[in-house]
Structure 1
Amino acid sequence: MLNIKVSLLIFAACGLIGCESGPLQERSKQALVQNQEKQELLSQLGAVLYFDVNLSKHRNQSCATCHNPQKGFVDDRENGVYGAVSLGSDNSSLGDRNAPTAAYAALIPAFHTNTVGDYIGGQFHDGRESTLAGQAGGPPLNPIEMGMESEEAVSIRIKENTFYKKRFEEIFGHPVLEDSALMYTAMTQAIMAFEETELFMPFDAKYDRVLRGEETFTAEEELGRTLFFSQQFTNCNACHQLNASPFYERETFTNYHYENIGIPENSQVREKDNSMGKKDAGLWLNPRVTDARHKGKFKVPTLRNVAVTGPYMHNGVFKELRTVIEFYDHFNNPSRTVNPETGVEWDQAEWPETVNLKELEKGPALTDQKIDALLAFLNTLTDKKFETPVH
């Protein structure tokens, strides 16, 4: 639960403080305008903070480093491990997980359980933070990421900048300049406001344009769409569909649940560095989860921009999207015994005891033509700004 200071901070940031005279309707209109104006100021501040490398220990890393707006909001650096995981501000530390896209992250519900006890939502691969603001507060203080020592250290860096001091005071009030905890929370609120803008979730992929009647699918894309939403030929939509209709314009292509689909360990990353010192237990590492049956489960990711946000899976173990589809198919197809990226048999699951074989073993084997069609459809989920120009 938020403490009183933080609650007041958010209250002020939303522009709700004030008691103008006049009819209630007029006061409501004024409050709405003021709220919109403050939200715009907040998102503008968040945009500057998002790109500020000075908020990392060695002044060389920002939010945008690992969530690059030009590259599908993922970390496109090679990092010595084919981009599988991210390099820290110290230029030596490696994480154990692939940086998920920040695109459409504002639409992820807060971490919760449904009526049958399934865990849903939350930020990070294990849902340990319920909100984008909580997520934004993690990397600056993570010693293997941005590496700042404390909220106070971040606050000092913020106050080095006269623009920040003026804007923080303007939006949150003077006390924010005197309290490092308040300032840190204000910073995360601003970054969240920026990540809630249309830049991060434009819904303008070809899929959306087709639904609006602006374009049409090719024959191959249409086959892929049919396969994707079919319950007879694939089970893709068992996890990668939130809304009941496959024609829902705001589909994010995830149910936000947690699954163990048998992903193997990324041995290349572990050989370089294993900061965790053990296997990644995923959801079970979330402080709110204690049941060992959830070991090895990770949140189902959005498929928006999936064609341009590789490498894939929570640990970046697969470099190509086609490999991902072949991996799924190998549970049902006796001819797909070899990982096309390694040329040898698929590695064993990191957590074999909790793999959801009930879902994975549904459906018939896929032909290469059907895999091509699924890839074609998945390419239609790429936001317009990331589409490869046609020459």
Structure 2
Amino acid sequence: MRSFRLLQSTFLVTGCAVLLALGLSGQVAKAELATGAACNPAADGGNPCPRSLRLEKQQPLSMMATVGKAMFFDPALSGSGKLSCASCHVPSLHYGPSGNAPVFKGGATGDREGRRAIPSLTYLERQPPFSIGPDDAVADDIAPTIAVPVTGGNHAAKSAVNTASSAANLVPQGGLFLDGRADTLHQQASGPMFDPDEMAATPEKVSARLQTVDYAAPLRDLAGVRGKASSDFLLSEGLFALARYQIEDQNFHPYSSKFDAWLQGKARFSPVEREGYLLFNDPKKGNCAACHVDTVRSDGLPPLFTDHQYEALAAPRNFALQHTHDPAYYDLGVCDQKPGGRKDLAPYCGMFATPTLRNAATRHSFFHNGVFHSLEDVMDFYVLRDLEPERFYSKGPDGKVQTYNDIPAAYRGNVDTIDAPFDRKPGQAPALTRAERQAIIAFLQTLTDGWTGETGQGSRL
């Protein structure tokens, strides 16, 4: 990790993969597994140290969640009467967007362009609240503190096999949306619903529908006397119902990929998937697991493939978007989540949330501005950004390539140039060959939910 480093950590964590590579005993390897460490796949693609995962069974939805489900699919809640939550977050596409447009068209008449690419709604149930504090790559229970950002100091690089190497760095982490501006799914639900560029609803319209529509009758009963007296309270309860639906319905967090089966010893990687997994975890190659953590927690919770943190990767400006035609327009992520953030949170300007990689292989737009449309494009950018910048960035009037062209010059020091594979300088060899990048993509395809392989999905608690 990070473009913003403060202190060098002295910790060293050795994973099961390293122990096995050194030929140490199976007993030692099993002891390491108790800490949630990963282990290398065997030559046949199997998992030599399978885990028992903590997987929840689908329970009947509560009355509140049932109302939330109906709201999720109700287009009449939008300003146009044509868009529901499910219009952008399609259940059959892992609650991500359909098509390959960089952003969605919405608004009261359906012709307004959204500000950012639509994220998936899957795997948000363990997202901690936003904070700025010590780097803990594997925690879902980060303390909700805000550290005062400063500049300077040592920047500790983050390693896929040593996520504690940067533990003393102060980093933004947690929160929902790509800038972390909401802490709960309850808060998140109101964002797109009342955004004039998205569902374009009004509180008055949503409250009026909840007061009359048949499916909300249980909500009105649950809201009691206060719900009958206050439309604002009924609206708040409706947004809470949307959150309960996303938490209670296991389709939002099924953990049903081939990788989950592999973790349990119930599937084998193909040779290219195995190669991709090893490259994904190799700190000198892909180094992907430094931020997209892929180890099982000590309590058995499956990995989310994110450390909940934020990166400034300098994705190219997407000139296909209308607002980028204004040369003064910049979307700077974390530091734009509140007024005055470009001054108060300047060391984090340009940073966006590290998303889960689960179901990433089914997406068709990537990064906050949807500038890339395939995993091949993303991998090329990760590996070649500073080696072949002309592939990604446009040229200015002087004919020179405008690197990092979607971040103002004042904040370009926040861009990650420390962690592999972003640590390469012009003239050096890329961290990954094209064949190795393809192997990582093959591994990422094992993260798609709904895998029905030789032994099924495994048992649920």
Structure 1: distance between partners of 2:299 and 2:378: 24
Structure 1: distance between partners of 2:325 and 2:72: 27
Give CA-to-partner distance per residue, 1:125-160, whole Å, 9 cap, x none. Answer: 1000111111101112111111123x2221002223
Structure 2: distance between partners of 1:335 and 1:242: 29
What percentage of aligned pairs have identical amino acids? 29
- Matched with 1:179 is 230
Structure 2: distance between partners of 1:262 and 1:247: 36
- Trace 1:211-290 onto structure 2 (pairs within 5 A): 211-241=263-293, 243=295, 250-270=302-322, 278-287=329-338, 289=341, 290=344
Q: Does 1:59 align with 2:103?
A: no
- Matched with 2:422 is 361
In 2, are the aligned partners of 1:111 and 1:130 still within 8 Å (CA)? yes
Q: 1:384 aligns with which of 450, 456, 461?
A: 450
TM-score normalised to structure 2 length: 0.68
Give CA-to-partner distance per residue, 1:27-75, whole Å, 9 cap, x none. Answer: xxxxxxxxx98x6112111111111101101110111111111112112
TM-score normalised to structure 1 length: 0.80
- Matched with 2:397 is none
SS at match of 2:63: helix
Structure 2: distance between partners of 1:88 and 1:177: 31
Per-residue deviation at 1:184?
A: 1.6
In 2, are the aligned partners of 1:257 and 1:299 still within 8 Å (CA)? yes
Structure 1: distance between partners of 2:295 and 2:277: 15
In 2, are the aligned partners of 1:74 and 1:101 still within 8 Å (CA)? yes
In 1, are the aligned partners of 2:284 and 2:431 still within 8 Å (CA)? no
Q: Does 1:204 align with 2:223?
A: no
Per-residue deviation at 1:249?
A: 5.8
- AA aligned opposite 1:178: A
Structure 1: distance between partners of 2:252 and 2:363: 14
Structure 1 residues 271 and 287 mapped into 2: Cα distance closer, same or farther (>3 Å)?
Answer: closer
In 1, are the aligned partners of 2:97 and 2:118 still within 8 Å (CA)? yes
- Matched with 2:102 is 84
Structure 1: distance between partners of 2:322 and 2:301: 40
In 2, are the aligned partners of 1:220 and 1:373 still within 8 Å (CA)? yes
Structure 1 residues 273 and 86 mapped into 2: Cα distance closer, same or farther (>3 Å)?
Answer: farther
- Trace 1:98-247 onto structure 2 (pairs within 5 A): 98-115=117-134, 116-149=169-202, 151-164=203-216, 166-196=217-247, 197-241=249-293, 243=295
Q: 2:363 aligns with which of 303, 309, 317?
A: 309
Structure 1 residues 229 and 294 mapped into 2: Cα distance closer, same or farther (>3 Å)?
Answer: same
Q: Does 1:348 align with 2:409?
A: no
Structure 1 residues 107 and 249 mapped into 2: Cα distance closer, same or farther (>3 Å)?
Answer: closer
Q: Which runs of 5+ in 2 are unaligned?
A: 1-58, 135-168, 394-399, 425-429, 454-461
Q: 1:321 aligns with which of 375, 396, 404?
A: 375
Structure 1 residues 123 and 47 mapped into 2: Cα distance closer, same or farther (>3 Å)?
Answer: same
Per-residue deviation at 1:355?
A: 1.0
SS at match of 2:97: coil
Structure 2: distance between partners of 1:224 and 1:184: 47
Structure 1 residues 128 and 85 mapped into 2: Cα distance closer, same or farther (>3 Å)?
Answer: same
Per-residue deviation at 1:298?
A: 0.4
Task: Name which structure has the greater RCO, CA cutoff 8 Å, separation 6+.
Answer: 2
Structure 1: distance between partners of 2:401 and 2:250: 39
SS at match of 1:110: coil
Q: Which runs of 5+ in 1 are unaligned?
A: 1-35
Matched length: 339
Higher helix share: 1
Give the CA RMSD over aligned residues. Answer: 2.8
